Chain A
Amino acid sequence: MTDRNAAPLLSVRNLTVSFGGPDIVDDLSFDIGQGEIVALVGESGSGKSVGSLAVMGLLENATIQGSACLSGGVGSGEQEASTELIGLPARRLRALRGRRISMIFQDPLSSLDPLQTIGGQIREVLKAHTRLTGVALHSRSIALLEQVGIVDPEGCLALLPQRLSGGMRQRVMIALAIAAEPDLLFADEPTTALDVTVQAQVLRLLKGLRDQTGMAMVFITHNLAVASAIADRVIVLYAGQVVEDAPADVFFRRPAMPYSRALLSAAPRLEAVLAGYGHLEAPRGQVPSPGQRGTACRFAARCDDVRDTPCLASMPPLVSIAANGEAHHTVRCARWEELAP
């Protein structure tokens, strides 16, 4: 599925976001491959949502620096040139949203229009991005609902969001997001508000959709167990920075960053989480807030392996630790080599 040699679908470089105060997201760089599912993990407040919204162009009153380059679409007829998303005029950004990049959020009820039927909302999106009308519009709506596993699509079209269960609403939300067949879907904690059995269903649905359509996905979660169920690759965010970026199998077997290890050792196995037992515990201590991040390793205050040098001397850079022939793997820790098992 993932082809590391092909040009990445989305290439984020040095993305920095602030709201007039300290930088919330700090020099973020990562790639998303075609058809790849990347889990963006990190404790609450680490900047996962802000970073994704910045790429989507959905932040207001924010100062955004850096670059987010979306490569040209291949699936949609004529080849498009690649596009720089940061600083793109609102009109062109709007034309890309929904069609090339799309996003779903945590709470499907508040995300949907409470006054419009499901059918109306699907038609609204289809009309914005396609030329479908009449019967074609209708059958496409039905097909979309079938695609997200809704049992009675015809009946569902006539319903208002309030009549659906939480899981059904998130399915509808997903249908809306994929209606114009985007190449990349940001899913911001899409299962967090759902109960555990429904969580597993929605995860399976999203993974199935990727297999079916080849759509890449940035799956945002603070829950490592959920990430392990869906991700091809894991990017760990800490205090606004990438601290580790590794293929999922490598990450869950041999995490390199002490923070990742602390998270993983605290995380119960997926089955336990999905069954509702136990909850994720973050390592002791707290994430430094955006104003108090200093110039040392940001994890230092919580790290068991901290040393005055090199940890506190300067900010460790993000370095590649992939051996020859191995897949891409970067980590931000000054002592990663000493600490390697």
Chain B
Amino acid sequence: MGNGNLLYVLRLGGVKILLLLLVSMAGFTLLHLAPGDPLSQFTLAPGMTAERLAQIAHGMGLDQPLWRQYLHWLHGIMTGDWGHSFRDQSPVLGIIVSHLTATIELGLAALGISFSLGLGMGLMGALRAGRAVDDVTSVISIILFSLPTFWLGLVFIYIFSVRLQWFPTGNFSSPGDRSIVGYLRHLALPALTLGLVSVPVWSRYMRTFAGEILKQDQIRTARALGLSSGRIIVHRLLRGALLPMIPVAGIYLPTLLSGALVTETVFSWPGIGRLFLDSLQYRDYPVVMGVLMFSAILVLVSSTLAELLHHVADPRLRA
């Protein structure tokens, strides 16, 4: 790896750390804006006295100046002590991790659906630029982009569960049914919902990138040299267009998470999106902030990984 690359990675890392600090400050500020301070859960306890409250406040560090509280909180975030749920006092990080699997499964299935559909649509549009196919795929893109996720979910439930009764209306699994088929039947509708609404992310970028490559002389030259169209599409077009898609994956994650929250709510899918909404309803702010911080860190890490991967995968940057 060249010197320029090392410098690039260092700069990238520096900016990311700065970003993380900003993100954490935003999180901390929100936590303090929330109605009902952390003591409110104790004030109504029987036999509570002002003295006792002050003691608790001291114990929680609430009598410290705000910046010290922030540093304390940040230290906790970094060392894995993300606080405890107001609801059952269990550690926030543990709760989040236990809800993560469901979201990852849903997210991966949706990613598969949206990536393959989006890729195909973008590619078709680019290869038939200016023709009917291009128009149709771009209008489909716009429609999918304009669909409220929850409404699409409702429509799917109505069509496929209520009327056709092909799939269950929600939940992770049916009681007593542990089979893989049963699980997939539960996954199908939420994954389709989340997948379809995120198709445009991929299809639009694919259409742009593939369109740019098709305009380059290298395609005409490759044909002049007698390379087959299959070879040209796979080796020149796909390869060239997929490369800049890697950083797009970093942009995609926040969209996916937002969509997951809504999808999980509609389909009662026990992931971190629903955990977030439940916690918000119970005003369980430690968990709310935990999920916010967690997803922000996830987004940062994944976008960094995507950028690094792009750097490794693009031979022009590697050389």
Contacts and interface: CB of A to CB of B under 8 A. Distances in A.
**Direct A–B touching in the complex (beta carbon < 8 Å)?**
yes
B226 A95 contact: yes
A55 to B, nearest CB: 11
B310 interface: no
B224 A102 contact: yes
Contacts of B316: 114-115, 160, 162
Given A111-B218, A113-B236, A115-B316, A128 B223 contact: no
A112 B221 contact: yes
Interface in B178-228: 216-218, 220-228
B239 interface: yes
B120 interface: no
Given A113-B236, A128-B231, A163-B319, A58 B225 contact: no
Contacts of B223: 58, 94, 97
B226 A129 contact: yes
B227 A125 contact: yes
Contacts of A105: 217, 220-221, 224
Interface string A88-114: 001000111111001111010011111
B220 A97 contact: no
Contact of A98 (B220, B226, B239, B315): B226
A128 B225 CA distance: 9
B282 to A, nearest CB: 52
A98 to B, nearest CB: 3
B314 interface: yes
A128 B226 contact: yes
A195 interface: no
A98 B218 contact: no
B225 A125 contact: yes
B144 interface: no
Nearest to B313: A115
Interface string B232-257: 00011001100100000000000000
A98 B221 contact: no
A128 B227 contact: yes
A200 B239 CA distance: 36
A124 B226 contact: no
Most chain A CB within 10 A, of B218, B220, B231, is at B218
A56 interface: yes
Contacts of A112: 218, 221
A308 B163 CA distance: 83
For chain A, what secondary structure do more than half of its interface residues adopt (helix, strand, loop), or is it mixed?
mixed
Contacts of B229: 90, 94
B218 A97 contact: no
A96 B227 CA distance: 10
A177 B235 CA distance: 19
Nearest to A53: B220
Contacts of A186: 224
Contacts of A94: 223, 226-229
Contacts of A110: 216-218
A57 to B, nearest CB: 8
Nearest to A177: B225
Contacts of A103: 221, 224
A107 B222 CA distance: 14
A97 B315 contact: no
Nearest to B225: A98
Given A105-B217, A111-B218, A160-B315, A96 B225 contact: no
A176 interface: yes
Nearest to B314: A115
Contacts of A160: 315-316, 319
Given A115-B240, A115-B316, A160-B315, A107 B217 contact: yes
A99 B217 CA distance: 20
- Among A111, A116, A186: residue with most chain B CB under 10 A: A111
A142 interface: no
A114 B218 contact: yes
Given A124-B231, A125-B227, A115 B217 contact: no
Given A115-B315, A128-B231, A98 B224 contact: yes
A113 B316 CA distance: 11
B216 to A, nearest CB: 6
A179 B222 CA distance: 13
Contact of B227 (A90, A111, A124, A162): A124
Given A160-B315, A162-B316, A96 B226 contact: yes
A302 B206 CA distance: 49
A56 B224 CA distance: 7
A58 B315 CA distance: 29
Contacts of B314: 115
Contacts of A107: 217
Contacts of A90: 229
B130 to A, nearest CB: 9
Given A110-B216, A115-B239, A160-B316, A97 B228 contact: no
Contact of B222 (A113, A115, A162, A163): A113
A96 B225 CA distance: 9
Interface of A: 56, 58, 90, 94-99, 102-105, 107, 110-117, 124-125, 128-129, 160, 162-163, 173, 176-177, 179-180, 186
24 contacts: A56-B224, A94-B229, A97-B226, A98-B226, A98-B227, A102-B225, A102-B226, A103-B221, A103-B224, A104-B221, A105-B224, A112-B218, A113-B218, A115-B239, A115-B314, A115-B316, A116-B235, A125-B225, A128-B225, A128-B228, A160-B315, A162-B319, A163-B319, A186-B224
Given A97-B223, A115-B243, A160-B319, 19 more contacts: A94-B223, A94-B226, A95-B226, A97-B224, A99-B226, A103-B224, A110-B216, A112-B218, A112-B221, A113-B218, A115-B314, A115-B315, A116-B235, A124-B227, A162-B319, A177-B224, A177-B225, A180-B226, A186-B224
